[in-house]
């Protein structure tokens, strides 16, 4: 492997992150964006092209200046600033194993402290808000019907956005066992059992569009849908649903909110934390507790309202030469 910076960066993106480190596609995209931003920053502020970058450009002073720049000039959140730092540390950890000259840069990066960030609110949709989202979709159109199935399946399986993107027709089983096998975080599989209503909708979807194999969800061009495509679809219908369900104005409707909403609704319906943990594919029950934020005010209100209702009703790849003037563009394409 080429041990120059461009060579290591390409190996990091193409082979290491997914194959050896087992990071998710979402993590890879976030980490790559940080490194790309650092490379662009070096170019704009230090006039250093990617082909000239070496270990000396990863000084503690440079990295701290970069983090200050994105926080002050680019106005990113503290959480994003901390994520960019984590990405630099992760890359330099890899680089130090490949090229020992990067060992000190890795140590310096670790010494840069995270900033205390305001704990983000862990939003979830109420049943009424979720229903309003579905009701905003015109299922009489082909596109509307596809979007309805997409959102419903994401909610019912609590799949992460990258897990949804990877779903194939072959992953679904119908008959004695109505389920879908999801390839998730850490390259692990989990089986999610489907409700009868979901199975009925999926079968109608398969028949309507003559689906046999390959990607479960596609875009208008017939290619596998992307996470940004899913995000666009959700925000589009959330905006329409807002006309009838004003409480959505305070919610950031995203692919992830469907996952948290499903888990929250399961909890409110009496599912135990261990069951929800397995359903979500979490490594530990502590992760599930933190994920649901069971001590939050929003959760307390939701539990109270639910109680009222109850009582009322009694991959190693070959790395090409780094001598590619468009290496950033090419590598960026690999992390989509």
pLDDT tens sequence across 129-176: 999 999 999 999 999 999 999 999 999 999 999 999 999 999 999 988
Query: 69 — phi, psi (to 5°)?
Result: -60, -50
| pLDDT interval class at 318 (50, 70, 90) | very low
User: Mind listing the pLDDT tens digit for each residue in 232-282?
Assistant: 999 999 999 999 999 999 888 989 999 999 998 888 888 888 888 988 988
Per-residue pLDDT, 236 = 95
d(CA 18, CA 182): 17
3-state secondary structure of 215: strand
- Report the predicted TM-score, pTM, of the whole model to 2 decimal places: 0.61
Which residues, listed in sequence order, are joined to residue 278 by a DSSP beta bridge?
Answer: none
**Two structure tokens written together for 267:** 């909890």
Closest by Cα among 335, 176, 153 to 262: 153
CA 202 to chain centre: 24
User: Would you say residue 317 has pLDDT above 50?
Assistant: no
Pairing of strands 179-184, 172-173: antiparallel
Of the chain, the end-to-end C-alpha distance in Å amounts to 24
What's the rounded mean pLDDT across residues 286-297?
73
């Amino acid at each position: 492997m080429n041990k120059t910076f461009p060579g290591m960066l390409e190996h990091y993106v193409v082979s290491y992150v997914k194959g050896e480190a087992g990071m998710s596609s979402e993590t890879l995209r976030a980490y790559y964006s940080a490194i790309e931003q650092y490379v662009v920053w070096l170019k704009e502020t230090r006039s250093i092209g990617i082909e000239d970058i070496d270990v000396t450009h990863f000084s503690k002073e440079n990295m701290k200046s970069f983090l200050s720049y994105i926080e002050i000039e680019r106005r990113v959140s503290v959480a994003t600033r901390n994520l960019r730092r984590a990405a630099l540390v992760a890359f330099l950890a890899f680089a130090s194993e490949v090229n020992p000259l990067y060992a000190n840069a890795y140590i310096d990066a670790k010494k840069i402290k995270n900033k205390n960030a305001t704990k983000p609110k862990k939003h979830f949709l109420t049943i009424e808000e979720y229903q309003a989202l579905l009701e905003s979709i015109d299922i009489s159109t082909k596109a509307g019907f596809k979007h309805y199935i997409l959102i419903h399946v994401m909610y019912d399986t609590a799949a992460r956005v990258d897990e949804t993107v990877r779903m194939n027709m072959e992953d679904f089983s119908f008959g004695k066992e109505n389920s879908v096998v999801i390839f998730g975080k850490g390259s692990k599989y989990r089986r999610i059992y489907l409700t009868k209503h979901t199975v009925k909708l999926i079968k109608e979807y398969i028949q309507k569009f003559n689906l046999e194999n390959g990607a479960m969800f596609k875009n208008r061009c017939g290619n596998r849908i992307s996470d940004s495509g899913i995000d666009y679809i959700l925000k589009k219908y959330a905006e329409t649903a807002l006309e009838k369900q004003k409480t959505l104005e305070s919610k950031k409707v995203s692919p992830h909110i469907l996952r948290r909403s499903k888990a929250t609704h399961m909890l409110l319906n009496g599912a135990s934390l261990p069951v929800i943990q397995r359903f979500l594919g979490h490594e530990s029950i502590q992760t599930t507790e933190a994920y649901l934020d069971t001590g939050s005010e929003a959760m307390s209100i939701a539990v109270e309202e639910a109680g009222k209702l109850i009582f009322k009703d009694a991959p190693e790849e070959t790395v090409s030469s780094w001598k590619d003037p468009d290496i950033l563009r090419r590598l960026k394409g690999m992390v989509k």
